[in-house]
C-alpha cells in the first residue's frame, strides 16, 4: 500500500490521468493515447469550434472534484463503433444513445482509474454517476475554489481533453 500524502502534487495528477486515459483507450478502443500537452484553461478555447461530447464524473471524499472528458463528435462516433462492434452508419442510426452510452463508460472508467490513484495515496473518495452532454459551442465552467488541470491527449489522430478540477479542504 502506498504512503499517504498531505497534498496532491501536479505530478501525481498528471501521472494518474495519463495512466487512466492510456489504459482506457487501449482497453476499450484498442488504440494508443499519448499526452500532447498540459495547457491553461484558455488552451481549451480553440477546441470548441466543432461539435463535441462532454462526459463528466464527480468525486467526493477527502478530496472533491470533477473530471470532464471533452471528445470531438467524430471521435465519439468512432469510439462507439469500435466499442459496440458497429459501423459508423449503424451508430448514426441509433441517434445519440450509442454515443452517449460509450462516452459515459469511457468517462466512468477513466475517472475511476484516476480516483483509484488518489485513493492509493490516502485520498479516499466516491464517484458520481456519469453525465453526458452532446452539442455545439460547449464549454466548462470552473468549480468554485477548485484548482484546474487541463490535459490534451492524442488518440490515433483524435484530440481528447481531460479537464480536472480538484478541491481539497
Q: Tell me the domain boundaries of the chain.
A: 10-168
Helix (H) or strand (E) holding 60: strand 52-61
pLDDT attached to residue 8: 86
| 14 contacts 22 by C-beta, under 8 angstroms | no
| 134 contacts 64 by C-beta, under 8 angstroms | no
| 67 contacts 139 by C-beta, under 8 angstroms | no
Taking the alpha carbons of 86, 89, 95, 96 in that order, is the dihedral positive or negative?
positive
Q: Return the CATH superfamily for domain 10-168.
A: CheC-like (3.40.1550.10)
- Given a cut of 70, the residues of the chain with pLDDT beneath it are 1-5, 42-48
- CA separation for the pair 130, 109 (Å, rounded): 10
pLDDT tens track for 33-78: 999 999 877 656 656 678 889 999 999 998 999 999 999 999 999 9
- CA separation for the pair 145, 143 (Å, rounded): 6
| 58 contacts 128 by C-beta, under 8 angstroms | yes
pLDDT attached to residue 128: 96
pLDDT attached to residue 70: 93
DSSP state of 137: S
pLDDT attached to residue 162: 96
pLDDT attached to residue 95: 83
- CA separation for the pair 75, 17 (Å, rounded): 19
Amino acid at each position: 500500500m502506498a504512503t499517504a500524502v498531505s497534498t496532491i502534487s501536479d505530478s501525481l495528477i498528471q501521472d494518474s490521468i495519463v495512466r487512466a486515459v492510456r489504459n482506457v483507450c487501449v482497453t476499450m478502443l484498442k488504440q494508443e493515447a499519448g499526452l500532447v500537452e498540459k495547457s491553461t484553461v484558455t488552451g481549451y478555447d480553440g477546441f470548441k469550434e466543432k461539435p463535441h461530447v462532454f462526459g463528466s464524473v464527480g468525486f467526493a471524499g477527502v478530496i472533491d472534484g470533477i473530471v470532464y472528458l471533452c471528445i470531438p463528435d467524430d471521435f465519439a462516433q468512432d469510439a462507439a463503433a469500435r466499442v459496440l462492434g458497429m459501423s459508423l452508419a449503424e451508430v448514426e442510426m441509433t441517434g445519440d444513445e450509442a454515443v452517449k452510452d460509450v462516452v459515459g463508460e469511457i468517462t466512468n472508467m477513466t475517472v475511476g482509474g484516476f480516483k483509484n490513484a488518489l485513493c492509493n495515496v490516502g485520498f479516499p473518495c466516491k464517484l458520481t454517476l456519469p453525465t453526458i452532454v452532446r452539442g455545439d459551442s460547449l464549454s466548462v465552467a470552473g468549480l468554485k475554489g477548485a484548482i484546474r488541470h487541463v490535459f490534451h491527449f492524442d488518440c490515433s489522430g483524435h484530440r481528447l481533453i481531460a479537464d480536472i478540477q480538484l478541491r481539497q479542504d
